[in-house]
Amino acid sequence: MRIISGKFKGRKFHPPANIPARPTTDFAKEGLFNILMNHFDLSDVAYLDLFCGTGSLCYEMASRGCTDIVGVELDNRSLDFIKKTAAQLEVPINAMRMDVFEYMRTTKKKFNLIFAGPPYPLPNIPDLPEEVFNNGLLAPGGWFVLETNQKYTFESHPRFLRSRNYGTTVFHIFEMAAQPETEID
């Protein structure tokens, strides 16, 4: 695995074989970051990575100048690897061991960009967008990006923006309104 762009471009990292993660492919990461870089100044966002696995997207964000990075992962081996790699790269990744759903219910922090790459067998993948929005995790104008396989569609979600397909990987992008919604009398 490698970091595909930014300050650490080309830097390789080698997660242990026993980590229960499905890393996002370089092809898909490159497509995703092309979209993100055209919408955000990544050095100026608060980033949350849910189910962060190997930490691959956290390293990409750090490589592109992001300094406010939170990664949530339940697996101890994965978390140890992320912390070790962040220390080697000397980047500020706040990696914490916690259930993703518990984190979403308890954090008070707002993020400009949230990414979730859940395990594909997770039964409540369709609930993730509502969990993000119902728990008020996104700052105004923020995006939630959900990585799934081609089995899922979210076009009918009221905050759905668009999907991008990269082989077997699909990124579904949802957006928080830039201004608070007001009711018309």
69-91 tens-digit pLDDT? 999 999 999 999 999 999 999 99
Q: How confident is the model at residue 21 (pLDDT cuts 50, 70, 90)?
A: confident
Cα–Cα distance between 147 and 36 in angstroms, integer? 14
List all residues 6 or more positions away from 113 whose beta carbon is below 8 Å from its beta carbon.
Answer: 36, 40, 42, 45, 46, 47, 48, 142, 143, 145
List all residues 6 or more positions away from 2 whose beta carbon is below 8 Å from its beta carbon.
Answer: 10, 11, 12, 13, 26
* Residue among 152, 165, 153 nearest 35 (CA): 165
What is the pLDDT, as a whole number, of residue 20?
76
Q: Which pair of tokens denotes residue 174?
A: 């949802």
Identify the structural domains of the chain with CATH numbers, from first to last.
26-33+42-175 (3.40.50.150)
Average pLDDT over the chain, rounded to an integer = 92
What is the pLDDT, as a whole number, of residue 180?
57
> What does the pLDDT look like over 88-126, one tens digit per residue?
999 999 999 999 999 999 999 999 999 999 987 889 999
Cβ-contact 11, 86 below 8 angstroms:
no
Mean pLDDT, residues 37-63 taken together: 95
